[in-house]
Amino acid sequence: MPDKVLVYSRFPKAQLIRFGERYELLNAAGKRLDEAFPAAELADIRAMITAGGTALGADAMDRLPKLGAIICYGTGYDGVDLAAAAKRGIAVGHSPGANAASVADTAVTLMLASVRRLMVADHYVRSGDWAGAKPSPMMRPQAGMRGRKVGVYGMGEIGRKIAARVAAFETEVGYFSRSKHDVPYQYFPTLEALADWCSVLMIAVRAGAETEHAVSADILRRLGSDGFVVNISRGSVIDETALVAALTDGVIAGAGLDVFAREPHAPDALTALPNVVLSPHLGGHTLESHVAMQDCVLANLDAFFAGDPLPYKVRGA
């Protein structure tokens, strides 16, 4: 008999195929546990798969008395109450770096599309305005990438991959992180100092209480009127209301956003703007990164049921 694994968040079926081949899946599909399954069925669940952004607190853990492993599909684990898990002796695993290349690619895609006004350009061609020689103030030449100072906020695996890509565009790269890393980029001791220096801010920091609304009205103002902000991390890192105001008032020039404060909702004030590029949290959403993330989930599950430590354990969990 295969071991049972609870699937907590709502995942597309295609992403669960490989898990179902090896385990018996109980799929809550994003529903509350008490609504999804009778307590008796939950009683012997020892492992669960969840999405890192899904809230998973003490109350849910208490419905799973035999739970020994929470396995996050993806890099993030910000929804998991790590203290509650530790208190109950539950190991927490994730997929570190598995989607880093895809997420970094998304960051650079959003950066280039924002700086070079790709949405406006595509519309200018499709609408026939180009063919009709209709003047477009938005299509006047702007500063491009060469010689730009690009700041990376956070220097984990995704931040490093963003920095390596951005450096190939003949830019200067700097970063702010809690600690200095052995990387060939200029270190700034505060986010304020980084924002004063750079005109493009790439957010690659982990979500959490420490980083909530770290990118504030003040930080955006420091980027300047030719400034851009790109976020592929979590919506909570930016003060979204301040961002909408900065974009509307020309405090900064544009933004590229893959994540939002209240997903899947993006505020109307944001979706109405021409100087933003928006994507539906698809950062790590490529075939190859799903395979890599599934590899990590399976390695974690297999180790757990074999009685071994998780190979991809959340640090400090």
Is position 116 annotated as part of the catalytic site?
no
Exactly one of 18, 116, 123, 281 is catalytic; which is it? Answer: 281
Q: Scanning the structure block, which residue is given the tokens 């003040």?
A: 218
| Region 73-112 residues binding its own copies, contact defined as CB under 8 A | 101-102, 105-106, 108-110, 112
The rounded distance, in Å, linking the Cα atoms of 99 and 126 is 33
Exactly one of 21, 24, 212, 263 is catalytic; which is it? Answer: 263
Q: Please, which residue, 57 or 147, has the CB nearer to its own copies?
A: 147
Count the neighbouring beta carbons within 10 Å of the beta carbon of residue 217.
Answer: 15
- 263-270 long-range contacts (CB < 8 A, ≥24 apart) are 263/53, 263/235, 267/240, 269/244, 270/240, 270/243, 270/244
Is position 263 annotated as part of the catalytic site?
yes
Residue 184 near its own copies by CB under 8 A: no
Is position 172 annotated as part of the catalytic site?
no
The rounded distance, in Å, linking the Cα atoms of 69 and 90 is 5
Q: Please, which residue, 40 or 131, has the CB nearer to its own copies?
A: 131
Task: Give the count of residues interacting with its own copies (CB under 8 A).
Answer: 53
Closest CA to 185 of 79, 198, 233: 198
| Region 129-168 residues binding its own copies, contact defined as CB under 8 A | 130-131, 133, 139-147, 164-165, 167-168
Residue 287 near its own copies by CB under 8 A: yes
Exactly one of 234, 240, 262, 265 is catalytic; which is it? Answer: 234
Q: Residue 80 has what DSSP assignment?
A: B
Residue 275 near its own copies by CB under 8 A: no
Phi-psi region of 112 (alpha: psi -120 to 50; beta: other; left: phi over 0): alpha
Q: Please, which residue, 86 or 125, has the CB nearer to its own copies?
A: 125
Shortest separation between residue 293's beta carbon and its own copies, angstroms: 11
Residue 250 near its own copies by CB under 8 A: no
Shortest separation between residue 65's beta carbon and its own copies, angstroms: 33
Closest CA to 75 of 190, 170, 154: 154
Angle at the Cα of 34 from the Cα atoms of 30 and 40, rounded to 5 degrees: 120
Q: Please, which residue, 216 or 279, has the CB nearer to its own copies?
A: 279
Shortest separation between residue 259's beta carbon and its own copies, angstroms: 11
Number of Cα atoms under 13 Å in the Cβ half of residue 221: 5
Residues that bind its own copies (CB under 8 A): 12, 14, 101-102, 105-106, 108-110, 112-113, 116, 118-119, 121-122, 124-126, 128, 130-131, 133, 139-147, 164-165, 167-170, 264-266, 271, 277-280, 282, 285-290
